[in-house]
Amino acid sequence: MPHSSAGSVDSVTERTFPTRVLQATKPVLIQFWAPWCGPCIRVTPIVEQLAAEHADTLDVVKVHVDEEPELAIRHRITSIPAFVVYADGAPVQSWTGAAPKSVLAHNLAPYLG
C-alpha cells in the first residue's frame, strides 16, 4: 500500500494493524490518541514532523482509542497520548504523555538507523 503524502500519519485499525505494524519492514511508532485529548492534539504536529523527517527509517501510525478499543486494551493503554514502538513485529518500547520534539526524538533514536 503506498504511503500518503509526507507528514501525514495514517490511522491504523484492528483490520490493518497486522499489515502496517506486525509485518512492517522498519520500526513503527504508534500514537494512541483521541480528538478530545488536548495533549494529543498538541503533540500530533510534532509526531507528524518526525514522521516526515524519518520516513526512510521509521513508519508512524496512529490509533484512535475510542474507535479501536481492542487495540488500546491489548497495549494496556490507560492514559493518552501514549506511544508504542514496534520493531520486527514486537513492541520494544512505550511511553505516555505529550513531550517536546527533543524528547520524542531521543526516545526514537535507537530505531532511526
Residue 70 lies in a domain: yes
Parallel, antiparallel, or unpaired for β 59-64 and 90-96?
Answer: unpaired
Active-site residue, from 9, 29, 30, 40: 40
18 is catalytic: no
Confidence tier at 5 by pLDDT (50, 70, 90):
very low
Active-site residue, from 37, 47, 60, 108: 37
Phi, psi of 71 (to 5 degrees): -65, -40
**What's the confidence (pLDDT) of residue 82?**
98
Q: What percent of the chain has pLDDT over 70?
A: 92
Residue 39 lies in a domain: yes
Residue 1 lies in a domain: no
111: pLDDT strictly greater than 60? yes
Measure the CA angle with vertex 60, ends 55 and 61; round to 5°.
145
CATH number (domain holding residue 101): 3.40.30.10
Please give the radius of gyration of the chain, using alpha carbons only, rounded to the nearest integer.
13
Those residues whose C-beta lies under 8 Å from the C-beta of residue 3, and which sit 6 or more positions away, are 10, 55
Query: What pTM was computed for the model?
Result: 0.91
40 is catalytic: yes
